[in-house]
Each structure stands twice: as C-alpha cells, then as structure tokens.
Structure 1
C-alpha cells in the first residue's frame, strides 16, 4: 500500500481503486520523467489495483533498463524490441543482443516494433527490414509481439498476413486507427491495446463506437505513460505526466462505451493479458 507521501502526489479525487486488479500492458517506466520517484509511482499503481505492469523496451538501452526494473520490482515485466523510429540502427549485433534479451524470464514479448509511416524517422524500407527481422526473432523465441503502427495499417497487415502462421500472438498497442484497420487486425486474430486516447474528445471519439466490436478475449488496457494523459480525469495533476495509477480511469471510460461494468471490463482485460503474456494468475485482493 502506498504511503501518505506517495498518495499526496495524486489529488484525492484521482485515487480510484477498482474492484479487481488491472494489468497495464504498456508503461514506459524507463522514461527520464520517472527517474526521481519511480518507487512511489509503483506504490501508487499498486494502491490503485494496477498490480502488474509491462515495461516497454523500445531500443536496446531501454529494453535492458526494462529488464533491470523487472528484476528489481515484483509485478513488473519487460518487452524488448526496436521501435520503427530507430529502425535505421538495426544490424546483426543488435539482433543478437535482442535475442539474448528474449531468452530472459523477465521478457514477455518482442517489441515495441512495427511500422510508423507518419513521421518516418527511419525510412519505410529500414522499418520493414527491422520489423521482419524482429518477426523472425519472435518465431525463434516463441514470444508474443508488442506492435506499434501509425499510418501504416495496410502494409502492416500485409506483412503480418505473410507471417501469421509462424508467430504466436500479437497485440497492436495504443490502437487509434479506423474501423477497416481494426477489422483487418481482428481478422488476423490479433489483440488490441487501448489507451487514454479514447478519453480524448478531440481526437479519440471515433474509438468509442468501435470498442464493442473488439472481443473481450482480444482487448487489453494500457497507459503508454508518461504519454497520453487521459482527459476524463475529475481533477487536475501538477504537470502532464501520466502514470499507471491512472489506468482505472481509462478502464472506466472503455467500460462505459463497451456497455459493461468497470468490474467486468477489468476482470476480462486482466485475464486476457495474463493469457497473452503468460503471466502468473493475479488473485483478487481483499
């Protein structure tokens, strides 16, 4: 349980404890903004019933840091991959380093990897090369995939279709695209991760009509913190940093648009995440 000092960081109105544990499948806890108070952040998350967090590894350094955190803190796990922004750095040495990380028990998925044709910090050709190399690593390790896609839905589906019989499972994290893209991913038997984007009436309203089309056995929830602070919070935070303790507010918003209770949404997404990442069963807390 969090101490008074750690609780004080969140206004009382934001200290929402759901009835069942939640799993945050995408938390960038290696981000520098968490450097000063990470232990308190984890305590606040646990007090909010966010009992398990998957720490995202987006390049070699951050994947190694994610593994280190997973070794240090109970309830934390790691992914290991190269984000499409950094795809230009892919080489044989990096491939070997990633394969070594994938063999560690703390690593539960290959990624964050995929395609991002919105900014093209790496060229599309470099992105596709690094993505397919990481698909091969996922096949080799047997681990599920933690995927990133932005403005590249058609090409992503084409590549995944070619690999689908060989990879185990995959989740498109922080899904923000349209109905056709969603149905294309579901047709490939992929999982979908939803963030606080759905809480943003300026740009996420289209997701609200799509939520109920996602089977609960394919749906997971995430913060993508420190980014994407949800706009449905009933009180303001000092600063704009998002953190896992706020995941219950995202789950509540998703449940509202799904048309089910918070408890039902939380229980279903937790069970789905446990199966997907092959995590120990999280018992209901008193």
Structure 2
C-alpha cells in the first residue's frame, strides 16, 4: 500500500475527544466500564486528552487502543464545527455526536479508495476510482445537518463494488492458485505457516486464529477481523486494505513483516 495521507491519520490534538464521548461501550474484555453514547468517558480530561493514555491496556481499556477515526475527529472538530467544541456550545453536542460516526465511515472509504489508486495492477479501474474518490471527499465536506441524513450504506456499496474489482485485478498478478476465504469463519483456526498469498480474506473472521509464519503477501484483508490473531513471523508485505486498527487488535512480534505505511503496534 502507499503512504497514508496525513488528513486520514487521527490527530487527537485537534479533536474534541469525540471518540471518548460520542461512542458507547459496554463493560467487557475491551472496556472496564459501561458508557452511554454522548456521555464523556470518565478518563477524558478538560483538554480533551485521555488521562490514562499511557496505561489504557493495563487499566482495562484495550478497545480504545485499537480504535481509529481515520482523521474524522479533527475534521469534524476543526472543519465542520470550526473549532467550537461541545463544551463551548452544549447545544451543538447532539448533532456533533451523531455526525461523527458518519464522517468516520466516509474517511474510511476515502482511505480505501486512495490505497486502491496506488495499486498499479488496478489501472483499468483507476478512472472510476478517482471519480468516486472525489465524490466521497465532497461528501466529507457536507454540513453536520446533511451528514446525519446521508445514506452511508449506499455510498459504501458503490465504493465496495469498485474496491472488489481493484482487488481482483491486483491479486490476479500473483502466481498460482489464490484461496477464496471471503467472509469465512476462521475463528481460532490453525493456520500456522499457511500459504495465503493473494488470498481473498475480505470480511473473514480470524479472531484468535494462529497465523504464525503465514504468507499473507498481496492478500485482501479489508474488513477481516484480526482480534487476537497471532501474526508472529507472518509476512503481510503488500497486503492491501489492511488498517492500523486491525493490526492493533492482533498479536504480532518483531519478525512480523508489515505493508508500507503501517506501524508495528507498541504492545507487540
């Protein structure tokens, strides 16, 4: 994949702590407490920063460490709402909190489209990708009132159809037979050393799967659930539509090979 554009990277310094307020979470292995949507997390400080950021995992907030807004937080805070926070204008809070997950989805789509344009083998659909990228980016500039009325599933369906075509073109250049495990239930699967180069793993459930030493080069991992998947020594070189969120939820090591533009999680 290509280097991720800066506007698609979360910048918490420019955000009003939206993921810590707008989103709900339930007490579980990922969160230490229950929290309703629109209720500020007890760890959110007055400056909109997390009071336990360095100790989230130790304090039972693993879910926070794997979340990524794809830059939607600072966009909504500084762009859509022009730097006026929900604390400064409490009346704006309900609309701001409703608009945040919508904008987050649009930013995610922009991220995927941008990556697809970096796939040389997908050149036949580059013109369509560019058109849809411009269209989706224009949607991110809508007012909050229009964002909350947007039919995001319809836009996602359009984008997904084109991303699928780009994926097929990119994986076609990989020699040999490619495995099709799209949407497969591979929870806890024993895939140590598996040959999955060029595989279609879109939306596959790989929760706690053992992918130690697996060959995942040039695999399509869009939407794959990698929570607690063991990626020690796995080769993810060239894997596409893989996000930092997915990596943060997995368990790798220093020998795990990653695509360009993605960082090795600190907890590995």
The TM-score bracket by the shorter chain reads under 0.3
Give the structure with the higher percent helix: 1
Give the structure with the higher percent strand: 1
Task: Point out which structure has higher relative CO (alpha carbons under 8 A, 6+ apart).
Answer: 1
For normalisation by structure 1, the TM-score amounts to 0.26
